[in-house]
Amino acid sequence: MLKDKCILFERSMNEVCMIINHNTDVASNYLYDTYGGTLHGESDDFRHIKPSEQLGKLMLEEVDFKEIINNFIKNMKENILIYNQNMEIFRTWLHDYDPDTEGHEYADLIFDIDEIMGDKTDEELEAIIDKLFEKVKREVIPINNNIEMLIERF
């Protein structure tokens, strides 16, 4: 059961990463084509978020689920940081050329799950994977709202 949840989480995160990266490319291409580079030189600073790539480890007979879940957590922290940095570039870029007179409020994503310390049972690890799934579901709302605001601004 824990292995299946980890595999499903990894595959789901791959899809989330592809969607976010696609939207980042579309928005940055639009801004670059419309306005050229930013006044601050950030137009080349967009970064793609990356999946944690744990599927290979999950196929082994002996699996350290704590290590795998900690890798998921580290990866999500890094990806949220990259996402927030990309959104800041979008805000700055748009403000440089078309200041926001309507006060759109872009939301930063927040990650509040700590890495696993100490020994955990499979049931406890399953609860942590469930918590990670819930976190991803909660973050989809601000991601979608940010996309909607970018569309409005475009």
Q: Each residue of 36-85: pLDDT tens digit?
A: 776 677 666 889 999 888 878 888 778 899 999 999 999 999 999 999 99
Q: What is the pLDDT of residue 125?
A: 94
Q: What is the pLDDT of residue 103?
A: 67
Residue with tokens 């137009």: 43
Report DSSP state, residue 41.
S
pTM of the predicted protein model: 0.86
Cβ 116 vs Cβ 128: under 8 Å: yes
Q: Which two tokens stand for residue 123?
A: 């049931």
Closest CA to 69 of 122, 143, 139: 122
Closest CA to 18 of 44, 53, 45, 51: 51
Residue 139, pLDDT above cutoff 70? yes
The rounded percent of the chain whose pLDDT value lies above 70 is 94
Please state the φ and ψ torsions of residue 106, each to the nearest 5 degrees.
-75, 140
CB contact set of 106 (below 8 Å; sequence gap of 6+): 87, 90, 91, 146, 149
Residue 3, pLDDT above cutoff 80? yes
Per the model's pLDDT, the better-predicted residue between 33 and 83 turns out to be 83
